[in-house]
């Protein structure tokens, strides 16, 4: 695992432009497989969030050019929304949701929050009383599964699979709906793979491959999770 001097996850080059997303995705995976989520000198999730937070919101990485909270995108935050739900960090979730709502349903960089983004919040807060809304809010999961199955015929097109895998997993484990089940079924059976494994695992293996400077440990961590799809 490539870590910087603060114990934050980075690329092999030391680039931390996706550190915020990586921290969330690692620790949600660690929670789901019931393993010790960090090894020294990797920071614990709480410590990582503390380093990556500012009075104006989360940053992609503490150092320039990634330390502008207004540059923090939807893709950087969604893994952390799920992870905060798993770890019970409701105060952090409330801040993220409040900022999205105050920004007219947009994430800090202007990315639009769609209905599936609110479905993610419902599951993270364990807001069971809003469960009926998930039948509607999960519809984009089906759309995204279809898109990934089509776009996935390009063996290099795996970037959008990572957070989709996290969303399908969250829906599988928290307040599953027939809608989310169909989305997961489509993705499981029709997402192309170019190796002997399934499509989801291929996407993780390729996205986090060492040759691109990534951390293959992510694919290993998530392997038993996607095997349960």
pLDDT digits (tens, 9 = 90+) for 129-188: 999 999 999 999 999 999 999 999 999 999 999 999 999 999 999 999 999 999 999 999
pLDDT over 80 at 77, yes or no = yes
> φ, ψ for residue 17 (rounded to 5)?
-65, -25
**Structural domain containing residue 171:** 124-229
Distant-in-sequence, close-in-space partners of 84: CB < 8 Å, separation ≥ 6? 24, 90, 92, 93, 96, 124
Confirm whether 227 is domain-assigned. yes
The pLDDT score that the predictor gives to residue 40 is 73
Nearest to 45 by CA among 29, 59, 27, 32: 27
CA distance 30 to 25: 9
DSSP structural state of residue 9: B
> Is residue 133 located within the same domain as residue 216?
yes
DSSP 8-class letter at 6: T
State mean pLDDT over 199-224: 97
Same domain membership, residue 151 and residue 90? no
At residue 206, the pLDDT reads: 97
Residue 173 maps to a domain: yes
Same domain, 90 and 176: no
119 inside domain: no
Residues 91 and 133 in one domain: no
The residue among 36 and 66 whose pLDDT is bigger is 66
For a pLDDT cut of 90, what percent of the chain falls above it? 95
- Do 168 and 229 sit in the same domain of this protein? yes
pLDDT of the residue at 37 = 64
Peptide bond into 4 cis (omega under 30): no
> How many domains does the chain contain in total?
2
152 and 94 share a domain?
Answer: no
Is residue 118 situated within a structural domain? no
Tell me, yes or no, whether 224 and 156 share the same domain: yes
Averaged pLDDT for residues 215-224: 96
Angle between helices 178-190 and 199-207 (to 10 degrees): 70
Nearest to 57 by CA among 41, 43, 66, 68: 68
Q: Specify whether 2 is located in the same domain as 82.
A: yes
Question: What is the predicted pLDDT for the residue at 68?
Answer: 98
Indicate if 108 and 129 belong to the same structural domain.
no
User: How far, in Å, CA of 85 to CA of 187, rounded?
Assistant: 24
Query: Looking at the predicted structure, is the pLDDT value of residue 212 above 90?
Result: yes
Q: Give yes or no: residues 98 and 147 share one domain.
A: no
User: Is residue 67 domain-resident?
Assistant: yes
Please check whether residues 95 and 173 belong to one and the same domain: no
Q: Tell me: do 31 and 129 sit in the same domain.
A: no
């Amino acid at each position: 695992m490539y870590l910087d001097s603060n114990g934050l996850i980075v690329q092999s080059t030391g680039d931390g432009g996706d550190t915020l997303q990586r921290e969330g995705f690692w620790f949600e995976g660690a929670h789901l497989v019931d393993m010790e989520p960090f090894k020294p000198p990797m920071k614990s999730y709480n410590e990582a969030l503390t380093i990556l937070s500012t009075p104006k919101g989360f940053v992609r990485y503490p150092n320039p050019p990634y330390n502008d909270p207004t540059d923090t995108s939807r893709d950087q935050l969604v893994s952390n929304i799920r992870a905060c739900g798993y770890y019970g960090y409701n105060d952090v979730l409330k801040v993220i949701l409040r900022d999205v709502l105050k920004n007219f349903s947009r994430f800090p960089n202007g990315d639009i929050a769609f209905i599936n983004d609110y479905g993610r919040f419902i599951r993270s807060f364990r807001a069971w009383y809003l469960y009926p809304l998930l039948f509607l809010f999960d519809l984009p999961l089906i759309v995204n599964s279809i898109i990934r199955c089509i776009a996935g015929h390009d063996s290099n097109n795996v970037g959008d699979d990572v957070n989709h895998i996290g969303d399908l997993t969250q829906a599988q484990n928290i307040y599953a709906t027939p809608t989310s089940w169909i989305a997961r079924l489509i993705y499981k059976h029709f997402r192309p793979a170019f190796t002997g494994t399934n499509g989801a695992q291929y996407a993780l293996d390729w996205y986090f491959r060492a040759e691109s400077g990534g951390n293959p440990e992510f694919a290993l961590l998530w392997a038993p999770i996607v095997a349960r799809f």
